[in-house]
Amino acid sequence: MRPAPPSSALSDEARVWGCLKVLARRASSERPARAPQYLAVDARGRLRQERCAGAFLELRPRHPEKWSASEPLTPAAAQLLSLFLPLVLGPDSNRLVLAHLGQSADGHAATFSGSDKFITGSEDIRHTHRLRALFDAVLVGASTVAIDDPLLTTRLVSGPSPVRVVLDPHARLAPERQVFRDRGARTLVVTEPRRILGLPPHVEQMQVACGSAGMDLRLLLAALRRRGLRRIFIEGGALTISHFMRAQLLHRLQLTVAPVELGPGPGLPEHALSPNKLPELGRTRCFQLGNDTLFETDLSEGLGLSAPSKPCAAPAST
């Protein structure tokens, strides 16, 4: 039997990603840690806890952005830690609600013809798959499913696919959509008290009361948490994200802006989703994803939750 390769055979990025996945699983099932943690990765990429600062990573749950490593890391691995640690570690990590949206520089969330669903580049698409792998559920509105017909799995990264939650209050989606036909991940469709006819038997339907203002999102989150889905990633669309923002149920908002302009046509709704307005909502960090710029705003301070992360200036090129 061939011996396992040494841990150095794992790239820095692979070791960091392995740590993040384990921390995400812990965040879903345990109370948030408070004491510093010292972590190492074994030869097979498995995470173990150490008792000394000589471990691969030293993490501070009260300040997840203040990590340290026992050895120099590649820029890609360091960015993974800086970007994702606040999402899997800290006082609110076990009930985090995060939204992500990609758009063009002039504010369009989709091309007009529908022939190209992706405005942002491959790095942001990979980032989205990573977010799916780190959350219990990925949630989208009916319009996103109707227009983009997404699969919502983690095809581009290693890690589990989340439960797919589709908000379809008026039960208008056809059962032929990929999220209903594909068995690669569990699917839950949420409607008001009415049923979608023709859904495959493996698709679960959940009913949540709706009022004049739409679906009661607090009841929705409570129902999801009763099913063990505590960490929620809202992938779209812009209208669904704005509803969660207005209800003050969103802890973090990510906006990735691509350096392209699509010209006249339907843009984003009039809610505060432009990079210039994000700092008005909370402390904002930024990262480069290839040619795109990711802005992340921590809304938890306004919700009376944890303190926001340290802000960072936008790149000079934006």
Task: Kindly report, residue by residue over 138-149, the tens digit of the pLDDT.
Answer: 999 999 999 899
149 against 214, higher pLDDT: 149
Contact criterion met (CB below 8 Å) for 120 and 256: yes
Residues 298-312 pLDDT 10s: 998 765 444 333 333
pTM: 0.86
Round to whole Å and give the CA distance between 267 and 179.
26
Q: Could you say which DSSP state residue 101 is in?
A: E
Superfamily (CATH) of domain 96-298: Dihydrofolate Reductase, subunit A (3.40.430.10)
Residue ranges per domain, the chain? 7-74, 96-298
pLDDT digits (tens, 9 = 90+) for 94-132: 999 999 998 888 777 754 334 446 789 999 999 999 999
> Which one-letter amino acid corresponds to residue 290?
G
d(CA 238, CA 271): 9
Nearest to 64 by CA among 25, 12, 24: 24
Find the mean pLDDT for residues 66-86: 93
